[in-house]
Chain A
Amino acid sequence: MSHYESPIRKPLVTGDKSYHDVTLDVVRSVEGQANKSWWVAFSIALIAFLWGLGCIVYTVSEGIGTWGLNKTIGWAWDITNFVWWVGIGHAGTLISAVLLLFRQKWRMAINRSAEAMTIFAVVQAGLFPIIHMGRPWLAYWVLPIPNQYGSLWVNFNSPLLWDVFAISTYLSVSLVFWWTGLLPDFAMIRDRAVKPFQKHIYGILAFGWSGRAKDWQRFEEVSLVLAGLATPLVLSVHTIVSFDFATSVIPGWHTTIFPPYFVAGAVFSGFAMVNTLLIIMRKVSNLENYITIQHIELMNIVIMITGSIVGVAYITELFMAWYSGVEYEQYAFLNRATGPYAWAYWSMMTCNVFSPQLMWFPKLRRSIMFSFFISIVVNIGMWFERFVIIVTSLHRDYMPSAWTMFSPTFVDIGIFVGTIGFFFVLFLLYSRTFPVIAQAEVKSILKASGEKFKKIRAEKGDDAKLYVEPKQEPLPDFSAQFNSKSNS
């Protein structure tokens, strides 16, 4: 069949890959044994997770006073980490949903892992709204459940309640989106499995997927509609998270720029985290033919663009503070740049505004080492962004008599470290048990974007045959078979 693909496009799947090669490359990490470095990484992550769990238990049983919060600063590391994790989670949906709507074929190789990252990051984020409560055992009171208090309801004016709806919708929709996409890949592992236990488990996970033409038609429609729903969802979720601050009366928080600016920051930090994870994964799982330099470069370009949007937002905030003529607002920004937390502000500025601009240089954005380094820098910068917004706005506001400082305790730090550990525990387990590349999707672009097939078209034109004629046996006499079988 003729197919036109511009010769300007570089192949997305390198190496002479056939459909079967894709299968083998994807199942290798699932069917093989974990090596020593996986166990080392897993043990470190598990220890960090258990340490964090200990800190959580300590907080809940002893009280929030074990944290570094005070009467002025009621939110610090807890909400910083919450917003940071939610932000990281957003890239997964961006990659699977927004890039699907824009028909970006390069998403195919990275969307599975990016969505896994979303789910695991949102799980981490979801811990903080619970554990930062003074009485987390009453957390179910945030739900509007009929009760024996008359019924006593919740107040739907609060962005913290909107958060409950936003995060739970986001997590659950992302989960079904991810899972539905996994069905054909689980089915592939199920059908290849030789050990009965594996076959049974993947049989359950694959929900009996058989790959009928009608199933695929519905599958694609469901993916498209979910992408169409997930895109406004991802924008709304971080918007609602930004409302936690933007709807307040605190100078430095009360801004209308927060919703888009937080979303841009979320995409920025999320793509950085995807880059961090995938640069390692392509190496350890031997997926360099699927996650190519081109994928990394494109992610770097997204980081560069969203980093620039974040930069524009910073400058806009500074301009508006000056332009507003409100002393409190002006002081809030003066305090950020020159106050006791200037170090945090300037490290945020350096990491978020300066570092992504280096991606304008093709040499740098095509370098794996450099991309890895910048992706870490961006995540540090985005953590500081949330910290700066939250803490510097709170520690000095309207009444100078309430001015104070904040420093975290080991419990604050321990819980954060614990969530990083938990995240990696989940991600490492995922990378050994789940098909980390959406093989069905990669197979569907293989002929259009595979190196082998692009070469054939370059040599023989767009109408070239992209398949090998199968070896055929001579046709048996089915009429005879038909009768003999029905008689027997």
Chain B
Amino acid sequence: MASKSLHAIFTDDDILMQAVKALREKKYSIKEVFCPFPVHGLDKAMGLSHTRLAITSFLYGLVGLAVATWMMDFIMIEDWPQNIGGKPSFSYIENMPAFVPIMFEMTVFFAAHLMVITFYMRSKLWPFKKSENPDVRTTDDKFLMEISVNENNVQAIAEVLHENGASEIKLIDNK
């Protein structure tokens, strides 16, 4: 038997939040919510775990710093330790101040770009990706909630949604 979902449309973020809370109180799990803009507190209300993207960014930054340090130490100190304008090239630390700008820039470069790429990969976003919002109005001003249902609870969930201000409720076959 194909599984099914209820799609409920809400016209306002406040109504959506009430409905999310009501469903969570009754222990129904919400499959997905599509919003036109970030509704603050929605992830908490839905019980989504916090994203770890900031942590990845920190680690990428460390990688960038290491790459910059290794690159400049190899090129300036190990490979061709030349005298350029009287700058000391005997050890990395002696000429370190001149390397700070690039160490800094590469830290930022790695932290920013690799985190953004991680975000695109985790959220599955790329140029030829097909959009997956079930209703085009969810990028304009409507909010859509998707809940997996079965024969026993479909009417109960629909009633909760209806009581909490869903303006349209539809039963959809899951693909």
Query: A203 an interface residue at 8 Å Cβ cutoff?
Result: yes
Q: Which residues of B contact A481 (CB under 8 A)?
A: 171
A221 to B112 CA separation, bound complex (whole angstroms):
12
B35 to A213, Cβ gap below 8 A?
A: yes
A19 x B151 contact (CB < 8 A): no
| Contact in complex: B38, A216 (CB < 8 Å) | yes
Residues on the B chain within 8 Å of A217, using CB: 38, 43, 48, 50-51
Q: Which residues of B contact A188 (CB under 8 A)?
A: 36, 139-140
B93 CB within 8 Å of chain A: no
Q: Does B130 contact A (CB under 8 A)?
A: yes
Contact A470/B15 with A190-B131, A191-B139, A207-B126 known, Cβ cut-off 8 Å: yes
Q: A215 CA to B122 CA in the complex, in Å?
A: 9
Q: Is the CB of B109 within 8 A of A172?
A: yes
A157 and B136 within 8 A (CB)? no
Q: Check B84–A20 contact: CB distance below 8 A.
A: no
Q: Are A153 and B109 in contact (CB under 8 A)?
A: no
B 103-136 contacts with A by CB, 8 A? 104-106, 108-109, 111-113, 115-116, 119-120, 122-133, 136
State whether A471 touches B139 (Cβ < 8 A).
no
| Closest partner residue, chain A, to B3 (CB atom) | A486
Of A165, A215, A468, A469, which contacts B123 at CB under 8 A? Answer: A215
Write out, one digit per residue, whether chain A residues 465-481 have a CB within 8 A of any chain B CB (1) or not (0): 11111111101111101
Q: Is the CB of A478 within 8 A of B113?
A: no
On whether the beta carbons of B40 and A218 are closer than 8 Å, the reply is no
Chain A hits for B141, CB < 8 A: 18-20, 23, 443
Interface string of B146-175 (1 = CB under 8 A from A): 000101001100110010011111010100
B111: chain A residues within 8 A (beta carbon): 225, 229
The answer to whether A211 touches B35, judged by C-beta atoms less than 8 angstroms apart, is: yes
In Å, the complex CA distance between A220 and B48 comes to: 14
| Pick from B11, B98, B108: contact of A229, CB under 8 Å | B108
Count of chain B residues with a beta carbon within 8 Å of a chain A beta carbon = 87
Is the beta-carbon distance between A470 and B11 smaller than 8 angstroms?
A: yes
Q: Is A187 an interface residue (CB 8 A)?
A: yes
Main secondary structure of the interface of A (DSSP, over half): helix
Q: How far is the CB of B162 from chain A (nearest CB, A)?
A: 5
Q: Which residues of B contact A222 (CB under 8 A)?
A: 53, 115-116, 119
Q: Do A479 and B42 touch across chains, with their CB atoms under 8 A apart?
A: no
Contact of A478 among B35, B46, B72, B171 (CB under 8 A): B171
Contact residues of A between 336 and 364, Cβ < 8 Å to B: none
Cα distance, A14 to B29, chains bound together (Å): 39
B154 and A218 form a contact (CB under 8 A): no
| Complex contacts, B109 vs chain A, CB 8 Å | 165, 169, 172-173
Bitwise interface map of A from 187 to 210 toward B, beta carbon under 8 Å scored 1, else 0:
110111000000000011111111
For B35, list chain A residues within 8 Å (CB).
211, 213, 216
Check if B158 sits within 8 Å of A156, measured CB to CB.
no
Query: A12 — which chain B residues lie within 8 A by C-beta?
Result: none
Contact A478 B6 (CB under 8 A): yes
Chain B residues within an 8 Å CB radius of A210: 34, 131-133, 138
Cross-chain contact A209 with B57 (CB below 8 angstroms): no
Contact A156 B98 (CB under 8 A): yes
- Are A219 and B106 touching (Cβ within 8 A)? no
Report the separation of the CA atoms of residues A215 and B10 in the bound assembly, to the nearest whole angstrom. 19
Return the chain A residue nearest B116 by Cβ: A176
Q: Are A156 and B76 in contact (CB under 8 A)?
A: yes
B99 located at the interface, meaning its Cβ lies under 8 Å from any Cβ of chain A in the complex = yes
Contact status B131-A191, CB under 8 Å = yes
Inter-chain CA distance A190–B159, complex, in Å, is 33
| Residue B87, interface by CB 8 Å | yes
Contact flag A218-B155 (CB < 8 Å), given A19-B36, A172-B113, A192-B136? no
A144 to B80, CA, bound (A): 13
CB-based contact A208/B125 at 8 Å? yes
> Within the complex, what minimum Cβ distance (angstroms) separates A218 from chain B?
5
A380 beta carbon closer than 8 Å to chain B: no
Q: Indicate if the CB atoms of A469 and B171 lie closer than 8 Å.
A: no
Q: Cβ of B119 and Cβ of A243 under 8 Å apart?
A: no
Nearest opposing residue in chain B for A3, CB measure:
B14
Minimum CB–CB distance from B148 to chain A (whole Å) comes to 12
Q: Are B101 and A165 closer than 8 Å at their CB atoms?
A: yes
A229-B108, A443-B36 are known contacts. Are A236 and B71 too (CB-CB below 8 A)?
A: no
Do A156 and B72 touch (CB < 8 A)? yes
Could you tell me if A218 and B119 are in contact, using CB atoms closer than 8 angstroms? Answer: yes
CA distance A232 to B76 in the complex (A): 26
Cβ contact within 8 Å between B165 and A204: no
- Is residue A233 within 8 Å, beta carbon to beta carbon, of the partner chain? yes
Give CA–CA (A210, B138) in the complex, Å.
8
Mark B residues whose CB is within 8 Å of A: 1-2, 4, 6, 10-15, 17, 32-40, 42-43, 46, 48, 50-51, 53-54, 57, 71-72, 75-76, 79-80, 84-85, 87, 95, 98-99, 101-102, 104-106, 108-109, 111-113, 115-116, 119-120, 122-133, 136-141, 149, 151, 154-155, 158-159, 162, 165-169, 171, 173
Additional A-B contact list (17), CB under 8 Å, known A173-B109, A188-B139, A486-B4: A151-B79, A157-B98, A166-B101, A180-B119, A207-B127, A207-B129, A208-B129, A213-B43, A214-B43, A216-B35, A225-B54, A236-B105, A440-B36, A440-B37, A444-B37, A470-B165, A472-B162
Closest 3 CB pairs of A and B: A208-B129, A19-B141, A470-B167
| 28 A-B interface contacts by CB (under 8 A) | A1-B17, A20-B141, A144-B75, A153-B76, A156-B72, A161-B102, A169-B108, A169-B109, A173-B113, A188-B36, A191-B136, A191-B138, A205-B127, A207-B120, A209-B125, A210-B131, A211-B35, A213-B42, A217-B43, A218-B119, A222-B119, A232-B108, A466-B12, A468-B11, A468-B12, A470-B10, A470-B11, A475-B169
